Amino acid sequence: MWVCSTLWRVRTAARQWRRLLPASGCHGPAASSYSASAEPARVRALVYGHHGDPAKVVELKNLELAAVGGSDVHVKMLAAPINPSDINMIQGNYGLLPELPAVGGNEGVAQVVAVGSNVTGLKPGDWVIPANAGLGTWRTEAVFSEEALIQVPSDIPLQSAATLGVNPCTAYRMLMDFEQLQPGDSVIQNASNSGVGQAVIQIAAALGLRTINVVRDRPDIQKLSDRLKSLGAEHVITEEELRRPEMKNFFKDMPQPRLALNCVGGKSSTELLRQLARGGTMVTYGGMAKQPVIASVSLLIFKDLKLRGFWLSQWKKDHSPVQGADPHTVRSHPPRPTHSPCLLPGPAAGLPVCFGSLHEALHVFKADSHHVIIPKEPE
């Protein structure tokens, strides 16, 4: 609940952003080459000068737009989401903190307006997303270095592109890196209606994996279940149903999962562990319940279960290209056999490959647009 209330307060600030930017087309005027102006351009941004409650420390400010250097790219933000990691960063309790003052927002999609003379990989009109967290996407325009951006297809939904940088890649890496899953294997996850959860459902379905998706009970549970199943979920169950003794009969018709994905912690994570097959792995990538993961000693000993953690920012550091090396030939985990050549072509190294190898999936990936800010161009 604390995340939801904080998101609501930050969206209030975001609405101020919208009000100061009168509505017109999302994509704005056509991109053009850079030309120097006598007056420095100014942009609107949601800025915080110190850590604390986002509703109190985030302010809407006018910032000066930096000049475009030889290796720089001038972009116009098309959309940027608000998610828990953004809130944690502003509060100061995230694993990666930018220098203050800072612009909020870790994700988003922008359109290239102009490029410097040394930029070779991007051109005006291209869509780009941040290569790393902390870039500051809650602004109308910005000038970034070329290496800070990754090009993405411009023919995918705007909300999907805006939320592509963290959740789908987190889902993809967790599905690929911890267990050698094959079509027909099952995966169990909690908070299945979260951004990562929805990405897991869609990517797993494309890989031929069966998903058991745990959600909190609610009055409109059937509506939520239908929506997740429309994305590819095979089973949707509540936390209460997961705790019932009858769950042991659930796996008569499907294999026990060898992979569990946990972003809740507490009792929910304990229940996931109980459903794992012998030798299985539970990967924790969040702790929305703000409670520790409690693992049964008997499960660890007699089922030889493994507990792992995952943080995409660290994964990117571990797989960043060696300076001077071809980014498609840098070190990586041994390549996995692909389940679908049309879904998973390309080399298996580096974050850009997370997008390249999922190129086809990007065209069907559906993002939850509830927390996405879409700034409007002034008339």
Helix 195-207 and helix 167-177, axial crossing angle in degrees, nearest 10: 50
pLDDT of residue 98: 92
pLDDT of residue 374: 62
Residues 159, 174 within the same domain: no
Identify the pLDDT of residue 112.
97
Residues 232, 290 share a domain:
yes
Pair of tokens at residue 54:
């986002």
Both 150 and 181 in a single domain?
no
Give pLDDT, residue 222: 96
- Domain-located, residue 246: yes
Hey, is 183 helix, strand or coil?
A: coil
Are 138 and 241 part of one and the same domain?
no
**Which is nearest to 358 in space by CA: 160, 127, 105, 75?**
160
Cβ proximity of 309 and 285 under 8 Å: yes
pTM: 0.76
Q: Does 157 lie in the same domain as 63?
A: yes
Tell me, what CATH number does 282's domain have? 3.40.50.720
Q: Note the pLDDT of residue 368.
A: 52
In a domain, 334, yes or no: no
Query: Would 18 be classed as within a structural domain?
Result: no
* Domain contains 141: yes
For residue 77, what is the domain's CATH number?
3.90.180.10
Last residue of a domain, one of 290, 315, 340: 315
Residue 15 domain flag: no
Confidence (pLDDT) at 334: 34
**Where are the alpha helices (H) located in 54-155, listed in sequence order?**
54-57, 84-91
298 and 175 share a domain? yes
Q: Which of 34, 48, 94, 285 is catalytic?
A: 94
In which element (H, E) is residue 335 found? none
Looking at the fold, whether 159 and 171 belong to one and the same domain comes out as: no
* Same domain flag for 121 and 251: no
Residue given tokens 């023919």 in the structure block: 155
Spatial distance between the Cα atoms of 129 and 148, rounded to a whole number of angstroms: 9
Same-domain check for residues 54 and 134: yes
Calpha distance 353→340 (Å, rounded): 16
- pLDDT score at 288: 87
Residues 194 and 273 placed together within one structural domain of the fold: yes
Statement to judge: residues 157 and 186 lie in one domain: no
Residue 274: inside a domain = yes
Do both 133 and 221 map to the same domain? no
Tell me the residue range of the domain where 264 lies.
167-315
* Any domain includes 355: yes
How far apart CA 279 and CA 371 sit, in angstroms, is 38
Does 2 reside within a domain? no
Tally of domains in the chain: 2
The one-digit pLDDT tens for each residue of the chain (379 residues) are 444 444 445 555 555 444 333 333 344 333 434 433 445 678 999 999 999 999 999 999 999 999 999 999 999 999 998 888 899 999 998 888 999 999 999 999 999 999 999 999 999 999 999 988 899 999 999 999 999 999 999 888 888 889 888 889 899 999 999 999 999 999 999 999 998 999 999 999 999 999 999 999 999 999 999 999 999 999 999 999 999 988 888 888 889 999 999 999 999 999 999 999 999 999 999 998 889 999 989 999 999 999 999 999 899 888 876 444 443 333 333 333 333 222 222 222 233 334 433 443 444 445 554 456 666 654 4
Tell me if residue 285 is catalytic.
no
User: Rounded to 5 degrees, what are φ and ψ at 352?
Assistant: -55, -30
